[in-house]
Amino acid sequence: MYVAIAGNIGSGKSTLTALLSERYALRAVYEAVDENPYLADFYADMGRWAFQSQVFFLSKRLKQHLEEVNPAVHVVQDRTVFEDAYIFAQNLHLEGHLSQRDWSTYLSLYEGIAPALRKPDLLIYVRASLPTLQAHIQRRGREYEQQIPAEYLAALNRLYEAWIAAYDLSPVLVISSDTVNYADDLEDRELLFRMLEGYGLSRPLV
């Protein structure tokens, strides 16, 4: 069972990844955010550092997928390589931070390896409004994230909605972190677990 968790910055993906890993004994594969040496520079000057930052994320995610997701029997992944290409990099191209040449180069890298990647058995999309994203970002306190423009988060949300509407690699479960507080509310958490068990998750997975 490969469960992929998708969602915008601050939507609650990492919290959900940890909860599912603990409850269902899934191997957790987390996003390598803090390892990106370009990230602080990127948020300060997106046009200057967009290509370098996105190529770093793509290379790390591809390596994770091939080494940790593909061979694992039961795994939950915090953000997918599909989002890197079709949400984050595409948004930077649409906003003019990635030139057509850089976007084409990036896309060719992604498309060259994508056929070798394991497809999810279930994709969980954590939907969150802009106020919820901003509240979560402020609460977790990563300094470089405090300067993320609201317009950037809103643009990502629009691309997420379009991507989810067209996604057909696996079943999709959409969860609103505006209304389902699985981080702090035990009743909400148990409700979520019951929903997931309808998609084949069980304790323990066998």
Q: Is the peptide bond before 115 cis (omega within 30 degrees of 0)?
A: no
Q: Mapping DSSP to helix (H, G, I), strand (E, B) and coil, where does residue 12 land?
A: coil
Both tokens of 71, joined, read 């061979």
Looking at 78, 102, 168, 178, which residue is catalytic?
78
12 marked as binding residue: yes
Contacts of 168 (CB under 8 A, 6+ apart): none
Q: Is 41 a catalytic residue?
A: no
64 marked as binding residue: no
Are 128 and 11 contacting, i.e. CB atoms less than 8 angstroms apart? yes
31 marked as binding residue: yes
- Burial letters 121-143, b for 16+ CB under 10 A, else e: bbbbbbbbbeebbbebbeeeebe
5 marked as binding residue: no
84 marked as binding residue: yes
14 marked as binding residue: yes
9 marked as binding residue: yes
Sequence ranges of the binding site: 7-15, 31, 43, 54, 79, 84, 145
Sequence ranges of the binding site for substrate: 31, 43, 54, 79, 84, 145
Sequence ranges of the binding site for ATP: 7-15
Active site residues: 78
